[in-house]
Amino acid sequence: MLKDKTILLGITGGIAAYKSAELARLLIKEGAAVQVVMTANAEAFITPLTMRTLTGRPVYSSLFNPSYGSATVHIDLAREPHMVVVAPATANFLGKIAAGIADDLLSTVLLAVNLKERPVILAPSMNTVMFHNAAVRENIELLRKRGYIFADPLAGVLACGDVGEGRMVEPAQLLQLIKDKFPAREDYGGLTVLVTAGPTRELLDPVRFFSNHSSGRMGYALARAARERGARVLLISGPTALEPPPGVEFHPVVSAREMYDVVMDKLFLADVIIKTAAVADYRPEETYSQKIKKGGDLLVRLVRNPDILQELGSRKGNYILVGFAAETENLLNNAHKKLAAKNLDLIVANDLTEEGAGFTYETNKVNLLYRDGHVEELPLMTKYELAHLILERIKIII
Ligand code: CTP
């Protein structure tokens, strides 16, 4: 999984430094090359010899050591790795990075790393009072905003006996986070994937709307997975509680008509269009500009919204078109009809009555129906796993 990847592992002076030895071992087991840079304080907790023996590489710690051979070792170290991980990262170290201080090798390397080219993960480790100190909180927020990734510490009993947040994440969790940051495969390089996600909201008045239970999770998982596989991703989403995945071009919309307009505007860019959005089929005929005051019974007339997918199917050019079908009965039959009526290449059929499937879950259980009539029944899996699987299948059609 991490074959051909070089990870720079920075170790600062905290008791959790012993966990970095285990992290280095796990990374090497995954096929990564690990280059260790230690601070002087880290050497009080774990020896360079331990890290050298585990990684099979010399350990760097000094800014000016003639034996390193290069006069610009800090630049070389900053350019070589695919990712930088500092574990543990002490309060002092976070403060230095936030302030741009470069007074030893590791802090200088961090300043020389181009964050746009390689991710930097920081795994804080400190006493809980220190972790909650306003200075440390502000440094962490500032670094997050600048694009550093945090492996947030865990709560528990700390080395000093205090109980609370501050314990460094376990090496296995850190390994998972590192693996998640690397694209599984780059098989979508050069392709543009347009994903619609979430519900739409159809306003009745300034405070009320018609909508549905869509969480947006499936669409966001697809956007994230497509981006990880190297695609340019356009995510057009109705209102959700989710953060857009990093690196996607995000277009927030509210109503079905707004979604229609943005999709039609961006259509010419797309090689693949995946319509996970739960678009409201109807909207109130009239949107009141003032809040409706209660009185007698209220009759609201609903009128049809455009069917975005239908329109995409009828205009179908060079793009692959994938729809979703949310059903509560006759799953395969209804999905087949939608596949044909909307001129799709693939439809993902969702039985909303299945346990663990549908809108509000992290998991999904679906059938994939292809244009040639073939049906693939899939087991329950996370939406993220399903997203990768759908992208794999689409790649075969392309
Ligand atoms: N869809 C769309 N525009 C709409 C309604 C649906 O683009 N106005 C898309 C959805 O994004 C999804 C697919 O059509 O990919 C199927 O949506 P679904 O709600 O399951 O079906 P409908 O076509 O709306 O049919 P019905 O509500 O009658 O089941």
Residue to substitute in 210, 309, 315 for testing ligand 1 pocket (most ligand atoms within 8 angstroms of CB)? 309
Same domain, 151 and 131: yes
Residue to substitute in 283, 303, 338, 343 for testing ligand 1 pocket (most ligand atoms within 8 angstroms of CB)? 338
Same domain, 74 and 111: yes
Looking at 145, 160, 180, the residue that finishes a domain is 180
Same domain, 48 and 163: yes
Residue found by looking up tokens 């574990």 in the block: 87
Least Cα distance to 184 among 132, 136, 225, 123 occurs for 225
pLDDT of res. 125: 96
Q: Is residue 186 part of a domain?
A: no
Given a contact cutoff of 8 angstroms between Cβ atoms, the answer to whether 357 and 380 are in contact is yes
User: Ligand 1 centre from 206 Cα, in Å?
Assistant: 26
Ligand 1 contact, 338 CB (< 6 A): yes
Please list, in sequence order, all residues whose beta carbon lies within 8 angstroms of the beta carbon of residue 249, skipping any fewer than 6 positions away. Answer: 232, 233, 234, 235
pLDDT of res. 160: 79
User: Ligand 1 centre from 285 Cα, in Å?
Assistant: 19
Same domain, 27 and 118: yes
Of ligand 1's listed atoms, the one at least distance from the Cα of 347 is 15
Secondary-structure breakdown of the chain: helix, strand, coil percentages, each rounded to the nearest 5: 35, 25, 40
pLDDT of res. 29: 94
Number of domains composing the chain: 2
Q: Is residue 100 part of a domain?
A: yes
Looking at 136, 154, 180, the residue that finishes a domain is 180
pLDDT of res. 183: 66
Distance CA 153, CA 169 (A): 5
Q: Is residue 175 part of a domain?
A: yes
**Residue 167's CATH number:** 3.40.50.1950
The Cα-based distances of 53 to 25, 28, 46, 50, 241 in angstroms read 10, 12, 12, 5, 46
Calculate ∠ Cα 289-294-298, nearest 5°: 85
Under DSSP, is residue 195 helix (H, G, I), strand (E, B) or coil?
A: strand
Q: Is residue 295 part of a domain?
A: no
Same domain, 160 and 68: yes
Same domain, 225 and 91: no
- Strands across the sheet with 272-275, in order? 249-252, 232-237, 192-197, 272-275, 320-327, 346-351, 366-370, 375-377
Distance CA 11, CA 123 (A): 10
Gyration radius (Cα) of the chain, Å: 26
- Supply 217's token pair: 């999770």
Q: Mean pLDDT in each 10-residue stretch from start to end of the chain (398 residues)?
A: 89 96 96 96 97 96 80 87 96 98 96 87 95 97 92 86 89 92 82 98 98 95 92 97 91 98 97 98 97 95 98 93 94 95 96 79 89 92 88 93
Ligand 1 contact, 325 CB (< 6 A): yes
Is position 160 annotated as part of the catalytic site? yes
pLDDT of res. 358: 72
Of ligand 1's listed atoms, the one at least distance from the Cα of 305 is 8
Task: Provide the domain limits for residue 388.
Answer: 192-281+303-397
Same domain, 96 and 238: no
Same domain, 141 and 263: no
Ligand 1 contact, 349 CB (< 6 A): no
Ligand 1 contact, 283 CB (< 6 A): no
Least Cα distance to 179 among 376, 329, 23 occurs for 23
User: Ligand 1 centre from 388 Cα, in Å?
Assistant: 22
Distance CA 132, CA 151 (A): 16
User: Ligand 1 centre from 278 Cα, in Å?
Assistant: 7
Q: Is residue 287 part of a domain?
A: no
Distance CA 139, CA 91 (A): 9
Of ligand 1's listed atoms, the one at least distance from the Cα of 338 is 23
Distance CA 31, CA 21 (A): 16
Give the helix/strand (H/E) hosting 205: strand 202-205
Torsion of CA 80, 81, 82, 85, to 10 degrees: -160
Same domain, 170 and 208: no
User: Ligand 1 centre from 397 Cα, in Å?
Assistant: 22
Q: Which is the catalytic residue, given 40, 135, 160, 397?
A: 160
User: Ligand 1 centre from 373 Cα, in Å?
Assistant: 20
Of ligand 1's listed atoms, the one at least distance from the Cα of 324 is 15
Ligand 1 contact, 279 CB (< 6 A): yes
Q: Where are the alpha helices (DSSP H) in the chain?
A: 17-29, 48-55, 73-79, 91-99, 105-112, 128-132, 134-146, 171-180, 217-228, 256-266, 308-314, 331-341, 383-397
User: Ligand 1 centre from 327 Cα, in Å?
Assistant: 10
Of ligand 1's listed atoms, the one at least distance from the Cα of 334 is 29
Q: Is residue 290 part of a domain?
A: no
Ligand 1, atom 18: nearest CA belongs to which residue? 325
Please list, in sequence order, all residues whose beta carbon lies within 8 angstroms of the beta carbon of residue 138, skipping any fewer than 6 positions away. Answer: 98
pLDDT of res. 157: 81
